[in-house]
Chain A
Amino acid sequence: GAVVSQHPSRVICKSGTSVKIECRSLDFQATTMFWYRQFPKKSLMLMATSNEGSKATYEQGVEKDKFLINHASLTLSTLTVTSAHPEDSSFYICSAQNGETQYFGPGTRLLVL
């Protein structure tokens, strides 16, 4: 139980385009989901908290207009990286809250050329 999926697992895009990443809780409902970013050999950095039916809460320094989050249902949150640039290349990971515990997706590797 408590399985979280992400799609796509890898994406390569051109600079200036937008990329959408989906995060789904497969066997439970999640009012709250989280989006993280991870650089190589570093810990996870929380970007935002995604709340079903309301606006996401962004961490300090994260541009909400660049990283659009939509939590349209209890099993789906999406992160859209708008006008992506090479510095946005990273490993993006989502998690979904189930009880007190967060369960993580497998991550999405984004490469912006």
Chain B
Amino acid sequence: GESVGLHLPTLSVQEGDNSIINCAYSNSASDYFIWYKQESGKGPQFIIDIRSNMDKRQGQRVTVLLNKTVKHLSLQIAATQPGDSAVYFCAEGGGAQKLVFGQGTRLTINP
């Protein structure tokens, strides 16, 4: 079946370094992708989204890249801070569609 998944379950980076979290999707017809951040005991928080007619979108300290050729999505976080420690989920869908969530990647920021 169709699925959205993440390459790595855990990622540790030094504070101040940049981090890249990856996601693979299998539904080539998907046209909307979202990254969420979930801190322990809280609901997912919207970070950034991108439509399939774009390759790149930037937010505050975050950049999402979409490679439709290989069906790959990534989230780049610049100058990571302790508050960036969380689980990051990519999701496929939007509009009236159900969201399909990836496995999640736990990002740990080391001091």
A binds B: yes
> A residues touching B (Cβ–Cβ < 8 Å)?
2, 4, 6, 32, 34, 42-44, 46, 49, 91, 93, 95, 97, 100-107, 109
| Tally of contacts, chain A with chain B, CB under 8 A | 50
The reply to whether A104 and B45 contact each other, CB–CB distance below 8 Å, is yes
CA distance A44 to B34 in the complex (A): 14
Residues of A within 8 A of B32 (CB): 100
Interface residues on B, range: 20 to 34
The reply to whether A46 and B98 contact each other, CB–CB distance below 8 Å, is yes
State whether A107 and B41 are in contact (beta carbons under 8 Å apart), knowing that A101-B46, A101-B94 are contacts in the complex.
Answer: yes
Main secondary structure of the interface of B (DSSP, over half): strand
State whether A104 and B96 are in contact (beta carbons under 8 Å apart), knowing that A43-B104, A93-B43, A109-B41 are contacts in the complex.
Answer: no
The reply to whether A100 and B49 contact each other, CB–CB distance below 8 Å, is yes
The reply to whether B99 and A32 contact each other, CB–CB distance below 8 Å, is no
CA distance A97 to B89 in the complex (A): 18
Residues of A within 8 A of B101 (CB): 43-44
The reply to whether A43 and B103 contact each other, CB–CB distance below 8 Å, is yes
> Does B111 lie at the interface of the complex (its beta carbon under 8 Å from any beta carbon of A)?
no
